[in-house]
Amino acid sequence: MHNKTVAELARDLSQGTYSSVELTQHFLNRIKQEDTRYNSFITVTEDDALRDAKAADERRSKGEATPWTGIPFAHKDIFCTNGVRTTCASKMLENFVPPYDATVTARFRDAGAVCLGKTNMDEFAMGSSTENSHFGATTNPWGEKLVPGGSSGGSAAAVAARLTPAATATDTGGSIRQPAAFCGITGLKPTYGRVSRYGMIAFASSLDQGGTMSRTAEDSAMMLNVMAGFDPKDSTSVDQPVPDYTANLNAPLKGLRVGLPKEYFSDQLDPVMAQTVRDAVREYEALGATVKEISLPNTHLAIAAYYVIAPAEASANLSRFDGVRYGYRCDNPKDLMDLYTRTRAEGFGSEVKRRILVGSYALSAGFFDAYYLKAQKVRRLIQQDFVEAFKSVDIIMSPSTPSPAFALGSNTDDPVKMYLEDIFTIAINLAGVPAMSIPAGQIKGLPVGLQLIGNYFDEARLLNAAHQFQQATDWHQQSPAG
């Protein structure tokens, strides 16, 4: 059962091959047996999952099933879950139990899906390796001395290890696509505003976006059918019609115009990685697509702009954690200032502190214009690059990452080197366009991701292109040893 996709499991449940209770128990058993190797889950909700699975079976017996009724999945531990602790992998929220559901959580619950638990992540989604977790690092199923990527590494590792058929995730600068590439699965970051951020604990409010982790593009389409849509509770949610993302998955790709940005294929890209990606692009040509070189001239400014804007927004968002209202509180504070300073010093990890300090500096008097305002102007230039590019192409393709998964601990002492791991993904968040990573090859036995970038609210085209590639290749069917 654990080697089947969401679509296959949904068909089996509808045919009565097994019950949701049996399916859910199977995955819970796998988590118990296997996750000591990966540490992909922070919280496993066994009792709740079995209760929801039983309810799903009853719902199905009454003829009230949706495609997701009884399907197990997992939530990244950044989505609030009513009555279940939501930690953001931080000591600050180690014992926080929300009294409400995030909109994404509520939509999966309404669809009848069964949540197995909450997955590990970099603390407050700040990181590219899932090593910055208060609950310990997650390891990559493709090699237990390798990182799974981050910040959604727990979700990616759990899907790759077949501990869950699918998982939710979030992406602020590549936190879905990079771990998806490292773990050999499919990850989709929708257009900013396509998925509600209500109840998704904020890192950088103008960049964060909820998305999907799954084995296939078809499964991602099924997930997005549940997640997408306007939410009046979220002021950044866009009131745009939501198509059925599974409807056009099988449309032919003849005439698809693909752009390859020359800035992403420079001499700095490892030749083996470049060749692997170009081989995948040739597969698209065989499927009927036409390929041309394009330019995104301001790409080289993306990392600098991102690491001003994101920390600035983080410093504002995380100021709410002061030991007064909720979350961790230091012992025996002498006064209010001592309460604030010791609570934050003890509650936040080193990477979170680093970004708060950088962000506070960028927003301080005398530096706001020089750093934050200038970064926002650069962001507009990057956004305009994509607007111009999509006048002549339908999809942009690039590597998802500069290399396959790197070793645990290899970048922890060099924050700048770690930040450069997101070199191919950050510009997409600054522009707000959708993008996804799909398995497209291997280097020395480790998976490599192909990044597909689309125009605003054109997720259906991305999913169609990804699905057709997966019908023609078997990279998405490869699994880690064991």
Catalytic residues: 76, 151, 175
137-141 own/partner pairs: CB under 8 Å, 24+ apart: 137/39, 137/408, 138/38, 138/39, 138/40, 139/37, 139/38, 139/39, 139/408, 140/38, 140/182, 140/183, 140/405, 141/37, 141/38, 141/183, 141/480
In whole angstroms, give the CA distance from residue 202 to residue 6.
29
How is 205-259 classified by DSSP, letter by letter?
A: TTT-EEEEEESSHHHHHHHHHHHBS--TT-TT--------TTTTTT---TT-EEE
Q: Scanning the structure block, which residue is given the tokens 């009555």?
A: 83
In whole angstroms, give the CA distance from residue 225 to residue 213.
14
Angle between helix axes 350-363 and 336-347 (nearest 10 degrees) is: 130
Torsion of CA 457, 221, 25, 18, to 10 degrees: 150
CB-CB contact of 204 with 309 (8 Å): yes
Please name which of 386, 387, 394, 398 lies closest in space to residue 255, comparing C-alpha atoms: 394
Angle between helix axes 20-38 and 153-160 (nearest 10 degrees) is: 120
Please name which of 32, 207, 42 lies closest in space to residue 130, comparing C-alpha atoms: 42
Give the list of residues 6+ apart from residue 40 with CB closer than 8 angstroms, or none: 119, 120, 138, 148, 153, 154, 155, 157, 158, 161, 163
Q: Report the SS3 class of residue 465.
A: helix
